Structure 1
Amino acid sequence: MNKQILSNNWFIVRYSFRAAPLYTLMTCLLMAAHAAVQFFEFVYMPKFMIDAIQYNKPFSVVLWYTLFVFSVASLWLLVNTIHYNVIMPRGKVAVNKRLQKEIYDIASRMDLACYDNPAFYNDFVWAISESDKRTAAALDTIRVLLGTVTQVILSGAFLIALNWEGIFFVMLSLAGSMFFNLRRNKKTFELDLAMKPLQRKRDYVSRVFYLADYAKELRLNPIAGRLHRLYGETNVQINREIDSRTKPMVAQEFAADFLFSTFVVNGLYILYIMRKIMVEAVLSYGSAVSLVNATRRVSGGLLTLSRTIPQLQQNSLYIEKIRSFLAYQSELAAQSAPASEQQPLPSYIAPLEFKNVSFTYPGTGEPLLKNISFTLEPNKSVAIVGYNGAGKTTLTKLLMRLYDVNQGEILYNGVNIKQYDLMAYRDLFGATFQDYELFATSLADNVSMGMPTPQREEIIRALENSGFGEKLASMARGIDTTITKEFDDQGTLLSGGEAQKVAIARVLYKNCPIIVLDEPSSALDPISEYNMNEAILKEASNKTVVFISHRLSTTRMADMIYMIEEGRIIEQGSHKELMDLNGKYAYMFNLQAERYRIHETAQTGT
């Protein structure tokens, strides 16, 4: 057993002890105490009583010993009952709560680039879904190990004291069983790793069929057949992995459990003991009975050890993943200036400058943004427009330092943004993305987003300014209404446009100096879009506002417009200047304006 295996399992014990010390101590020690009680009850007690009868010892000696063992066993049973019914459930909750909180804290601040790395993302999903079970399993393995070691030591010492030659049978059984169980557990871990991505794919198909998000698409399109095939193909791959990896595991289990446990200990060794008793007559009747009991306990203990000790190795492989994730350090934070060298953020809204910025997503070859340079002036509204895939959303992610640039730099108030504290810099921004999400909690929580001491009046004001006021007035519970019905039958389901207004209300409520709106009106009709944009600009008259939009009706209100194509700024200026230029922006705007006119004619019939 190498040092890393011991280190990882010891890590779990220490982690559990910090979260729930009484639970950890009792879990580890009660099994060992139980093994000691059982030794004196089932191994030593028969020898003591039969020998007392054989050698005519006083009855009182037998009685007092029996009362002593009964009292100790009763005390253990009482303590064990309290532990399993009171201490253990609470302890598990305490450990899991601490562990999940740490994992969630890391998940909430890890770099977006991690989601672009399939290997890291697989480990992340595993840590989220398996950590509580694996932590309990690791502690349980240590509990069983301590109890079994106590059992084997006491019973084994008893056997050796009466017949020391038995140590050779014991060592042969232990060595063989451990050898094959180590290999079997390694194969089990490899199988588990191979199954994880396949199970995720199969689980994805399952989610598609029960999530409401996909219900309409499934009913209006023949995609169900393709998903059924994907599910079937994935199951075939899973079965192939199982077939290819489990065959050697069967042979390894047979060798460990039968050849080196049952046959060696329960077969060869029992025959050897019987010869000592019946042919050589060197043991008392009590010793003979206790040796049989001790042999069985050593046999069972060795079988358990041969599985438990390798289980430490298997646990170690899983614990290593948890430790690795808990030790995660943000690369963005690492590339920031040390705390002692960080610059204070200005108390006023300062210019933001992109200076020769290029960016390539990890794992892709072609840069998405190429040599971008422009300045966001304070208290101005800026629109960034372009076709799908031009790099508009990526630009905003760089702006808010969700990614770092590959080339060039971004300056705030003339200082590279890496010179500021990462979280303090991000707090400058209030943003809504085109792929925003609402949470299964109250409307108020969906607007305040966990900010301390939420102000109800300000939440309502933000919702009204985002255009949600009419819907809010129809809600009997107001901002206390639960969004979605996932956990509350009295909750409400919002339309796409209503949900988008809630997402925009978040930005207005946060009251940050810089507002970023990525496709803020994609789910709104033109009139609602116009009213919302007007309200946003009115509320943000003393802020810097960045619009990302396909729909150019938004851009007319902007002080400056940048048009991006294939990762480069190809046109810039006010709406009037770009229309006078009669370039790609003017073409795109006129094309959309014509569509609006056609839509209006169809609606009015004029």
Structure 2
Amino acid sequence: MEKKKYTLKDFFSNLFWAFKWVFSFSKFESFLLFATYLIRALIPIASSYLFALMLTTFTGFLAENSPGFYSLLTRITPIALIYLVVNLIQSLNENANFYLKSKLNIFYDNQIYLEVYKKISTIDFEKHEDAKFNDKIKKATENIDRVTSLYDEIFVLISNAVGVIGSSLILLKFHPFMLLFVIIFSMPSTVLQLKSTLRRRKMYESMVQLNRSFWYASENLTTDKQLYEVRANNLSKRISDYMQRKMDIKNEKEFGYYKDYAKKSSRLAIFDAQDILFGLMIMQKILVSGGTIGDLSFYWGRATNVTSLIRNTLTSLVFLFDRSKVLEYVRDIMEFENCIKTGEVVVSSKMPPKIEFDKVSFKYPGSSKYVLKDLSIVLNPFDEVALVGLNGAGKTTLIKLLLRFYDPTSGVIKINGTPLSQIDLLSYYSVIGILFQDFNKYPFLTIKESLLLNKTRYSHKSIEEALDFSDILDTVKSLPKKAEHRLSKWFTNGMNFSKGQEQKLALARIIFRNAPLLILDEPTSSIDSNAEFKIFNKIYKSFSSKTIVVISHRFNTIRSAKKIYVLKNGRIVEEGNHDELMAKQGQYYKSFNLQAEGYKSISSTAPDQVIQTA
């Protein structure tokens, strides 16, 4: 696929979008920041003019042979006071500029980060599971800070442009050809600067994969869970050697760039004589047309100043053009419109909803293979249901459709008789408590905070009950800070739980949520069999007022379910309770016996013969 050419129209469109977005967070501060940049552009001209005026006054005083220092003071003091005031304004303006930029970079940069992450969290799962779009998300998150930096750079560009225009008009009025010479002599170093900027950008772009490889390798030498395997298998030297090779490539590229820049910059040293040429031109003009030493100082300063301002303005323009390209990743994310939109029908949170799958078929976007085919299931309020089947049978996909992470390819899912597409998702999710097999750990939160993610009202007793239910209360109580511990050694006094303990804590979060519909996807896969038995006994005995859906390949966790659905190739092939399915001597019967035999025998059972999760 041919890469889209980045045009000036794209450039101005992205720039305007970024400016408008940041401006919406900081209208008042933006006006003040813009004012400080304008003052920064104009102050040097005023300061230079007043200094030249003092020189002219002093040389005029000397030419008059006027006696007494007091006489000089009476002439020069008013100008000197104005000069001091202007310099004081410049100093205060720079402090204000620093303060406003800091506020912009700290507060609004963080706000923009938050807005982007919030948006990403709402994007359709179809896109999250798409490799190309996922890469776009990654690039967007890597370039969020560019938004505010470009916002500031726009002001810098305007400031430089105002300085160029002001100084150019002064030079044009003084000597028409002076401005032409200034532009000509500033071009070589400006072109070098522009080319170097573009080359540096391309160099760092070419090292993106290299830097990622280096970073992932470093994780293996610094993260404790990865370090276990590295140290036990004596891999530290191999990985550090790998990192060294990557570092050598990076160093060679960077050193080559700076060496080349220094070489080319040295060749342009001859153009440093431009200041002398400007001075001679001004002197010649003053001798012919008349003028003072103050005029020489003022116009010479403007000629030197406009040279650097032209270079800075063009460099800022190239910087903006180059950096604005990556804004498209952030902009695409922020302007993305989901295909799955929430409905308006609110679900009652007082009792479990009735759920119907009516001839539902589904295939993932871009795939021709159906994961679910003509599937019909009814989950009545207070049902206890288990889903079993081989890997790829469609169990996890069924849950994704139930949560409306995807819409069915055909057929309809109904909640209390209303199509799921018409249901208000916020109210719908409020009645669901789900524990995925790949559960979140929230190591940045304390144990207590992680439990309170979905609740604002609670009691200490309810927290302990949830922890006790999932057989983790005694462990938490044994910790020095109890439920105020963070579960990561990255934090002071933090500690790491075992995988089984982490899963118990994740289960406690879902129990504490106390939602009417409880969905458990391999909820005890990392928990020992004794604790698993205790937990599931509690689940089936204590939650008669809830609908319970369990996905598991361990038959001792599902045999107590009132209804078991056996999935194969996206279809329901068997249904009934444990006794009924065993009596049929079908797929469930065979898999149950295979697993039971596996527990009895030391030899392992072939994994493709045992019912497992999708």
TM-score, normalisation: structure 2: 0.84
Q: Does 2:460 match 1:448?
A: no
Structure 2 equivalent of residue 553 of structure 1 = 556
Q: Does 2:409 match 1:395?
A: no
Q: What secondary structure, in the 3-state scheme, does the structure 2 residue paired with 1:458 have?
A: helix
CA shift, 1:62, in A, is 3.2
CA shift, 1:50, in A, is 2.9
CA distance 1:546–1:128, change in 2 (3 Å)? same
Structure 2 equivalent of residue 603 of structure 1 = none
Please, which runs of 5 or more residues in structure 1 have no aligned partner? 600-606
Q: What secondary structure, in the 3-state scheme, does the structure 2 residue paired with 1:410 have?
A: strand
Structure 2 equivalent of residue 115 of structure 1 = 128
**Conservation of the 8 A alpha-carbon contact between 2:22 and 2:148:** no
**Conservation of the 8 A alpha-carbon contact between 2:37 and 2:97:** no
What code does the residue aligned with 1:463 have? L
Q: What secondary structure, in the 3-state scheme, does the structure 2 residue paired with 1:425 have?
A: helix
Structure 2 equivalent of residue 577 of structure 1 = 580
CA shift, 1:131, in A, is 1.6
**Conservation of the 8 A alpha-carbon contact between 1:43 and 1:293:** no
Structure 2 equivalent of residue 137 of structure 1 = 149
Q: What secondary structure, in the 3-state scheme, does the structure 1 residue paired with 2:539 have?
A: helix
What code does the residue aligned with 2:308 have? G
CA distance 1:418–1:264, change in 2 (3 Å)? farther
Distance 2:451 2:578 in 1: 32
Distance 2:251 2:128 in 1: 28
Within 5 Å, which residues of 2 pair with 1:87-486?
87-132=100-145, 134-170=146-182, 192-221=204-233, 263=271, 266=274, 270=278, 273=281, 276-277=284-285, 284-333=292-341, 336-337=342-343, 342-346=344-348, 348-440=351-443, 441-486=445-490
CA distance 1:389–1:266, change in 2 (3 Å)? farther
CA distance 1:50–1:272, change in 2 (3 Å)? closer
Q: What secondary structure, in the 3-state scheme, does the structure 2 residue paired with 1:331 have?
A: coil
Structure 1 equivalent of residue 39 of structure 2 = 33
**Conservation of the 8 A alpha-carbon contact between 1:276 and 1:282:** no
CA shift, 1:430, in A, is 0.6
Structure 1 equivalent of residue 82 of structure 2 = 68
CA shift, 1:23, in A, is 4.0
CA distance 1:258–1:566, change in 2 (3 Å)? farther
CA shift, 1:298, in A, is 0.7
What code does the residue aligned with 2:320 have? L
Q: What secondary structure, in the 3-state scheme, does the structure 2 residue paired with 1:27 have?
A: helix
CA distance 1:376–1:178, change in 2 (3 Å)? farther
What code does the residue aligned with 1:532 have? I
CA shift, 1:158, in A, is 1.6
CA distance 1:183–1:467, change in 2 (3 Å)? same
Distance 1:477 1:36 in 2: 59
CA distance 1:184–1:392, change in 2 (3 Å)? farther
CA shift, 1:95, in A, is 0.7
CA shift, 1:410, in A, is 1.7
C-alpha deviations, 1:85-140, integer Å up to 9, x for none? x55434432212321221232133222233223333233233334323x2342233
Q: Does 2:52 match 1:46?
A: yes
CA distance 1:9–1:66, change in 2 (3 Å)? farther
Distance 1:429 1:476 in 2: 33
CA distance 1:463–1:74, change in 2 (3 Å)? same
> More deviation in 580-589 or 322-331?
322-331
CA distance 1:329–1:481, change in 2 (3 Å)? same
Structure 1 equivalent of residue 68 of structure 2 = none
Q: What secondary structure, in the 3-state scheme, does the structure 1 residue paired with 2:81 have?
A: helix
The alignment yields a C-alpha RMSD, in angstroms, of 3.6
CA shift, 1:79, in A, is 4.3
Distance 1:226 1:94 in 2: 43
CA shift, 1:565, in A, is 2.8
C-alpha deviations, 1:563-590, integer Å up to 9, x for none? 2233333322221122112222212111
Structure 2 equivalent of residue 526 of structure 1 = 529
Q: What secondary structure, in the 3-state scheme, does the structure 1 residue paired with 2:176 have?
A: coil
Q: What secondary structure, in the 3-state scheme, does the structure 1 residue paired with 2:551 have?
A: strand
- Count of paired positions: 586
**Conservation of the 8 A alpha-carbon contact between 1:359 and 1:370:** yes
CA shift, 1:202, in A, is 3.4
> More deviation in 26-35 or 173-182?
173-182
**Conservation of the 8 A alpha-carbon contact between 1:519 and 1:549:** yes
Distance 1:175 1:552 in 2: 78
Structure 1 equivalent of residue 605 of structure 2 = none
What code does the residue aligned with 1:473 have? K
**Conservation of the 8 A alpha-carbon contact between 2:172 and 2:178:** yes
What code does the residue aligned with 2:297 have? V
Q: What secondary structure, in the 3-state scheme, does the structure 2 residue paired with 1:95 have?
A: helix
Distance 1:178 1:291 in 2: 22
